[in-house]
Amino acid sequence: MQGHEKYIQRCLELAELGLGTVSPNPMVGAVVVCGDKIIGEGYHHTYGEAHAEVNAINQVISKFDNAAELLKQSTIYVSLEPCAHYGKTPPCADLIIKHRIPKVVVGCRDPFDQVNGKGIEKLKDAGIEVLTGVLENECQWLNRRFFTRVQKHRPYIILKWAQTTDGFFAPDDSKQHWITGIEARKLVHLWRSEEDAVLVGKNTTAIDNPQLNVRYANGKSPKRVVIDRRLELDNNLSLFDQTVETLIFNEVKTDIDGKNKYIALEDFDRYVPQYILYQLYLQDIQSVIIEGGAFTLNSFIAAGLWDEARIFTGTTNLKEGIKAPSISGDITGEFLTGNDKLLVLVNNVNG
């Protein structure tokens, strides 16, 4: 089993290279091993394009004149169950069968109804040996966004905020106040490039006029989501600059103005987080970072609708102001980012 874990670990490393570019598909890595040597590897690069297994097998074919014979003696390792249905691309299980690869080692099953167990079943029916559950927890964690969307019918939710050492979120005079240093800001921009959307409330938008892009990192800017119940925000704010698709949840209208999409909710007095997340789910948004303000963060916390919390604590005190949200979960990491402390929690209650 130890040898299998080594190769699935390599699959995970490859798969993670697709973070931010494959959603709403899962991240997947694959390696082809012959005689305890990797002869081909690949990962899913971009949504709608070739899957990991295709790229790994194609690498073998391009590198070796006797690729057909090598594949018949090989094991292919895949972090997620090979697909068995026609989607944007043909089934990967069929490709493995076509090349007569005799053994497949799978990290974890795919929870998607059109795949779940069907890829494994198809391989076994073709006489291929299949081993499953190697580094299963690690494989599931890598695709936690995908699993959440498929199983819970909502995006994966990451809460992010900064607080002072004495536990305040912001001054109460509606003035912008930076709590963290440039290192933390650069990290947040990297996080944005990895997720599908970033969400803020009306007050944060009015006070901070955020761009919510990735100026300090490489990658694509996420879609922007703002909650503005009565459409009171100034249209000249950065969020409405038409550079990125922006969803405005409100109670006034449903309309499209270029890249700005207004979505009216039926009831703005109850279940607002639930309604918003369902609308985002319908639009294939697989993950969202919620960056404020305190009221918005607290509403999702109160509803139990969060999966991770990434909390910066700066070096300054405010002594008074808006209290930072209160949250409890399992600590998965504590880091130092410049002079700021970063605490990462995961929700230990299913939401």
Q: What is the DSSP letter of 7?
A: H
Can you spell out the DSSP letters for 85-140? Answer: S-SSS--HHHHHHHTT--EEEEEE---STTTTTHHHHHHHHTT-EEE--TTHHHHH
Tokens representing residue 161 in the block: 């905020």
Buried b (16+ CB within 10 A) or exposed e, 23-51: bbbbbbbbbbbbeeebbbbbbbeeeeebb
Residue ranges of E strands in 208-324: 223-227, 246-250, 255-257, 260-264, 287-290, 308-313, 322-323
**CB contact at 8 A, 179 and 164:** yes
Residue tagged active-site, from 53, 194, 195, 291 = 53
The verdict on whether 53 is a catalytic residue reads yes
- Alpha-carbon span 54 to 42, nearest angstrom: 8
69, 65, 43, 67: which is closest to 56 by C-alpha? Answer: 43
Write the single-letter amino acid at 256.
I
Q: Residue 270: how many CB atoms within 10 A of its CB? A: 8
Q: How many Cα atoms occupy the beta-carbon half-sphere of 26 within 13 Å?
A: 29
- Alpha-carbon span 271 to 332, nearest angstrom: 29
208, 248, 204, 207: which is closest to 226 by C-alpha? Answer: 248
H runs (alpha helix) in 30-72: 52-63, 67-71
Q: Cite the active site residues.
A: 53
